[in-house]
Amino acid sequence: VDKLMAHGQVQEPFESRTKFYTLLEFEAPYEPIMDKAMAIFEHCMEQGWVVDGVMSQSLAQAEELWKLREYISETISVFTPYKNDVSVLISHVPDFIAEIDHIVSSNYPDFEVCWFGHIGDGNLHLNILKPENMTKDDFFNECQIVNKYVFETVQKYGGSVSAEHGVGM
């Protein structure tokens, strides 16, 4: 979200920042469905699972919210991302992300990781952003070493290095 906001193509949707964001879309053609959705949202807030949220009030607002997801690849492209398209069981996603973040930050403190994907089916787009002071060739060479750790971790969690699009890296 920070990168998207800095890029200036989307509107600021939240008052606060958090490490992870989820975009949900569902139809609510009847008022009871919307009431149930609000009750679930309020329960999640009470449990501390959700920090902030917004519910679109129009198709235009929904389209604006979807830009938060759709513009990620374009926004981070200026950082020459090194990409992996991996998947793990949904129940493993939090631990998997934490482990990969730890591996990258421990071994490559100058690398920034940008995660996005499809949480509903465990497909994760792992994007490692190139540091400004590193050449593209050096960066990609270092990322080949990172891949070994990523693939070992995917295997540890019983996942796949060829997720959503069936091609992986």
Scanning the structure block, which residue is given the tokens 């979200």?
1
What are the start-end ranges of the H helices in the chain? 2-7, 31-47, 59-70, 72-76, 93-107, 136-156
The per-residue pLDDT string of the chain (169 residues; one tens digit each, 9 = 90 and over) reads 888 888 877 888 888 888 888 888 888 888 899 899 999 999 999 999 998 888 888 889 899 899 988 999 898 999 999 998 899 999 999 999 999 999 999 989 999 999 998 878 889 999 999 999 999 999 999 998 888 999 999 999 999 887 665 554 4
Q: Which of 23, 49, 20 is nearest to 114 (CA)?
A: 20
- Residue 167: the pLDDT is 54
Domains defined along the chain, listed by start = 2-72 (no CATH), 80-156 (3.30.70.2740)
- Residue 40: the pLDDT is 93
Task: Count Cβ atoms below 10 Å from residue 61 Cβ, excluding itself.
Answer: 14
Instruction: Measure CA 109 to chain center.
Output: 20
Within the chain, how many helices (H) and strands (E) appear? Answer: 6, 3
Tell me the β-bridge partners of 78.
none
Residues contacting residue 154 through CB under 8 Å, at least 6 positions apart? 86, 88, 96, 160, 161
Question: What token pair was written down for 67?
Answer: 């830009």
**Cα maximum dimension of the chain:** 56
